[in-house]
């Protein structure tokens, strides 16, 4: 029998692997794993993105900027109702990204994801990566 911690860890790992936008059925995975009123805290933005549909739209636009993006999984830690994992992401910006036209340049950066899971669904999500390093690698900001 799975413990709650191992169930939460399995949900987080499935989200990290099958919920990645380069997977053809990522939206269906999100429908299965996320609460309809999920709250997403993206890179310490002033306001979170609320609701599953708004989150799918926001992330689809991000992934269009880097259609070849992939991640390498690092540490995964589960405690109470939270799971955190560290990955390294890399890809080439061949589409618009956060309003920036395609640069054709590659990016590689470490990131962290923290998920709060309740009732078998992701209800809150924090994501942090070094956007300054991303912008520097894209040649948009001097190093």
pTM given for the model: 0.90
Token code pair at residue 99: 């309003």
Q: Within a 13 Å sphere around the CA of 6, how many CA atoms are in the beta-carbon half? A: 3
How do the domains of the chain map onto residue ranges?
4-87+110-129
Q: Is 4-87+110-129 CATH 3.40.50.2000? A: no
For the chain, what is the total number of helices (H) and then of strands (E)?
Answer: 4, 6
Spatial distance between the Cα atoms of 112 and 17, rounded to a whole number of angstroms = 14
Q: Can you give the pLDDT of all 143 residues of the chain as single tens digits?
A: 568 789 999 999 999 999 887 778 999 999 999 999 999 999 988 999 999 999 999 888 888 899 888 889 999 999 999 999 999 999 999 999 888 899 999 999 999 999 999 999 999 999 999 989 999 999 999 87
């Amino acid at each position: 029998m799975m413990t709650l911690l191992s169930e939460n860890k399995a949900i987080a790992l499935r989200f990290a692997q099958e919920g990645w936008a380069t997977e053809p059925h990522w939206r269906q995975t999100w429908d299965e794993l996320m609460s309809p009123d999920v709250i997403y805290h993206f890179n310490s933005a002033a306001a979170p993105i609320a609701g599953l549909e708004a989150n799918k739209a926001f992330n689809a636009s991000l992934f269009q900027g880097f259609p070849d993006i992939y991640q390498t999984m690092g540490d995964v830690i589960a405690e109470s109702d939270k799971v955190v994992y560290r990955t390294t992401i890399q890809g080439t910006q061949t589409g618009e990204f956060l309003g920036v036209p395609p640069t054709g340049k590659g990016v590689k950066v470490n990131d962290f994801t923290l998920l709060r899971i309740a009732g078998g669904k992701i209800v809150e999500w924090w994501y942090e990566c070094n956007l300054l390093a991303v912008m520097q690698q894209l040649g948009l900001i001097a190093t």
